[in-house]
Amino acid sequence: MYAQQVSHPASNFSVVSVEAWCEVSEGQALQIRHLVLNVPVLRTDSGALMITAPPTIVPPPALGQKPPSTAKNAPQDVYDVAKPFISDFMRIYLTSSNAADLANMVVPNTTIQPMGGFVQFRQVASLNIHDLGKGHYEAVVIVNVQDPATQTMLPEQFLVDFLKDDKGHLEVEKVWQH
């Protein structure tokens, strides 16, 4: 289970979409279901977070897909440039609530909404980059985050599609929670 998306309808109110894979018993059979719950969260004047109503089940989004089997690992020079870029991008993506904070890191005319700071970024624990061809790459990123309320460290996995132009400039196209 992990936070998939955060929307901010008001300055002190957010809706956190939580994604989970659950085992559901149906008669004798055990089924695995993919659920997404929207959880309404209020930040009180003291800064505490409070769930204001029961979560609602919503349809899950498309999941990230693994790179095609023909994709090769990216060469070392791509890793050298992409690792600090992806680390900075994930730090901002996880901790900011303002899409403008990512504006210089994404493809022009693209908006990627950050997660809103419900977890604290700690580090990129693992990065695998696949070369999809013609300057297109897909990074499988595992990020260690910390829950500020419980101090629990959690790994979160993301797929990040990005471009590298002829000058070595990187831009994110899309982020998939996986």
Question: How many whole angstroms separate alpha carbon 78 and alpha carbon 162?
Answer: 11
Give pLDDT, residue 49. 86
Classify the phi-psi angles of 27: left when phi > 0, otherwise alpha if psi is within -120 to 50, otherwise beta: left
Please check whether residue 122 lies inside any domain of the structure.
Answer: yes
User: Which of 162, 178, 177 lies closest to 78 in space, CA to CA?
Assistant: 162
Please check whether residue 172 lies inside any domain of the structure.
Answer: yes
pLDDT digit string (tens) for 117-166?
778 899 999 999 999 999 999 999 989 888 787 788 888 888 899 999 88
> Can you give the residue range of the structural domain that contains 25?
2-58
pLDDT digit string (tens) for 57-82?
776 665 555 555 577 899 999 999 99
Residues 150 and 173 in one domain: yes
Number of domains in the chain: 2
Please check whether residue 67 lies inside any domain of the structure.
Answer: no
pLDDT digit string (tens) for 128-142?
999 999 999 999 998
Name the percent of the chain lying above pLDDT 90. Answer: 38
